[in-house]
Amino acid sequence: MRVLVTGAAGFIGSHVAEALSAHGHETVLVDNLLPQAHGGPADFEGVVGDVRDPALLADLLAEVDVVCHQAAMVGHGVSPADAPDYVLHNDFGTAVLLSAMHEAGVHRLVLASSMVVYGEGRYECPAHGVVQPGPRSPEGPYDPPCPTCGTLLTPGLVPENAPIDPRSTYAATKAAQEFLASAWARQTGGGVWALRYHNVYGPRMPRDTPYAGVASLFRSALERGEAPTVLEDGNQRRDFVHVTDVAQANVSAVEAMPENGTLTPLNICSGTPHTVGELAEELAKACDGPAPEVVGGTRPGDVRHVVADPSAAREKLGFTAKVTFEQGIADFATAPLRAPASRA
């Protein structure tokens, strides 16, 4: 198939593009080389351009069978002052792309979404069953209480039908991307796979930037000879999934036919949760660096536990992550990272 990959020079997008080519697909690559993602000139052989440019998209979409939309401004960000940039790149850019796809008669989309759309994960109270957790205190206790009785909740696996509850500007824009794509599918009869990536790590992550993930921040600190700094008590649980597995999930989604007229969300995860503290400890050992420092406190918008249910991706795409946590961390300890990214 002929696949347009947006954001194809980025951390995840570059792996997706390579995996598609390795599986025999013809790829059309575009990226506008955002400073937040790239931090300098990139070795990129595709089209340097912006998905907010309808004329460019009209050319790129010629004879395309499916679009794999990875382009986005990512990460926790610096402050709410980033909001206009996030909305312009993520939501307006997606709206322009969907319009261009309609004009070009392209009806299949693989959308890079994120676990951040859930906010907190799934929690259960012994007395009140599955509940949306109440607010947390920055000073602790860090585990969220039941909003009705105040009892500390038990975290579980978050399924795709969990409520959407974004807690950051980035999360809000990813949720909006899903809503825009869902509306497009209903209006056009197109089909969308929304791949909700969990905590992706691996080669080519941008180093030492507020727009990167926690694995990159830990690795960058260790390269400087510094101890990784772990917020809260280090027991916050996540699903860390290697970027090569995420790329394979995209290949599976490109090759699988989505249901027409709808958006189907899927957790893309390893299925094996670990704590942030475990990530810091394993990476410090693999890098032969100083032990992590647990400093407490939270960032606004941070959530406690988000652990995914991987069953839907397995059933609908045949996707199961292959890289174990131990293998992935050992690889990541020496994997090449990108030059420091910066604010635009």
| High-pLDDT (> 90) share of the chain, % | 81
Question: pLDDT band at residue 140, thresholds of 50, 70 and 90?
Answer: confident
Q: What is the pLDDT of residue 343?
A: 42
Structural domain includes residue 87: yes
* In a domain? residue 139: no
Asked if residue 149 is part of any domain, the answer here is no
Overall domain count for the chain: 1
Q: What span, in angstroms and rounded, lies between the C-alpha atoms of 31 and 48?
A: 5
Q: What's the rounded mean pLDDT across residues 296-320?
A: 93
Helix and strand tally (H, E) in the chain? 11, 17
CA of residue 223 relative to chain centroid, distance = 24
Does the residue 134 lie in any domain?
A: no
Q: Please tell me which residue in 86, 142, 170, 211 is annotated as part of the active site.
A: 170
pLDDT category at 300 given cuts 50, 70, 90 is confident
Residue 40: is its pLDDT beyond 60?
no
Q: What is the pLDDT of residue 341?
A: 47
How many other C-beta atoms are found inside a 10 Å radius of the C-beta of residue 5?
A: 29
pLDDT, mean of residues 33-47: 73
Of residues 24 and 81, more confidently modeled: 24
Q: Give the three-state DSSP class for 61.
A: coil
Q: Residues of the chain with pLDDT > 70: what percent? A: 94
Q: Give the domain extent around 165.
A: 2-122+157-333
Query: What is the pLDDT at residue 286?
Result: 95
Bridge partners of residue 157, in order along the sequence: 307
Q: Is residue 137 part of a domain?
A: no
170 counts as catalytic: yes
Residue 138's pLDDT band, with cuts at 50, 70 and 90, is confident
Q: Report the pLDDT value the prediction gives residue 340, as an integer from 0 to 100.
A: 55
What whole-number distance in Å separates Cα of residue 54 and Cα of residue 38? 24
What pLDDT score does 139 carry? 80
Per-residue tokens: 202? 């691996």
In a domain, 133, yes or no: no
Q: Which residue has the higher pLDDT, 168 or 194?
A: 194
Q: What is the CATH number of the domain that holds 183?
A: 3.40.50.720
The answer to the question of residue 138 being in a domain is no
Residue 180 has pLDDT above 80, yes or no: yes
- Per-residue pLDDT, averaged over 47-73, amounts to 97
Looking at every residue in the chain, the average pLDDT score rounds to 92
Nearest one of 158, 104, 150 to 268, comparing CA atoms: 158
Q: Which of 41-45, 103-107, 176-180, 298-302 has the lowest mean pLDDT?
A: 41-45
Residue 240 lies in a domain: yes
Per-residue pLDDT reduced to its tens digit, 202-243: 999 987 766 668 899 999 999 999 999 999 999 999 999 999
Which pLDDT band holds residue 344 (cuts at 50, 70, 90)? very low
Pick from 46-55, 87-96, 203-212, 256-265: least confident = 203-212
